[in-house]
Structure 1
């Protein structure tokens, strides 16, 4: 189980680690976005240095409508376990996003009054 923290606007943040193709672990804060149905989405400039393998282009329905994203195969560490996952990459993302696909594997507990935020 990983503990998260609440942002100023009640956003849900978790620290995860991105793993470069060279095996370097990079800790980052990721915003949990229940409206995003994938595992992970990052800005194209955040992709620099990771050297993840390009898979294909893919379309997703976003709040702004249908958008095309590049899809990469990436590795992350979440809850002390390494996962190889599809990662959506776009130019307009302002945060690294964790998506609702993780909820297939981990329960999300959000209790604002008690200050509790956990995944796993």
Structure 2
């Protein structure tokens, strides 16, 4: 189980590891976005710097808060709660945060208690 934190706006952040193609683990804070139905979304520059493989034959159009956007698809490795996962990653331009999507809630239990300041995923 990993602990998260709330920011001033009440957003839910968790520390995860992004595993580069050379095996290096880059620790980042990722925003849990309940409106995002995928696993993970990162900026294209981040995915490329990690050396993640892109599926050059497939791109995906997704509805975002700013309208419809086109995303690249990458195979990415993530370290979450001590486990390594290889997941489909959406790569977009100008993403402000790394996003964890609700697909994680199929395998991990989310506990949110704003009043007590408790946020866990595991």
Same fold (TM over 0.5): yes
Three-state SS of the structure 1 residue aligned to 2:108 is coil
Which consecutive residues of structure 2, in runs of 5 or more, have no partner in the other structure? none
Which consecutive residues of structure 1, in runs of 5 or more, have no partner in the other structure? none
Displaced runs of 4+ in structure 1, greater than 3 A? none
- Tell me the C-alpha RMSD between the 2 structures: 0.9
Q: CA separation in 2, counterparts of 1:66 and 1:39?
A: 18
- 1:49-97 CA-to-partner distances (Å, cap 9, x unmatched) read 2110112211112122322100100000001000000000001310000
Aligned residue pairs total 120
Q: TM-score, normalised by structure 1?
A: 0.96
Q: TM-score, normalised by structure 2?
A: 0.94
In structure 1, what is the equivalent of residue 119 of structure 2? 117
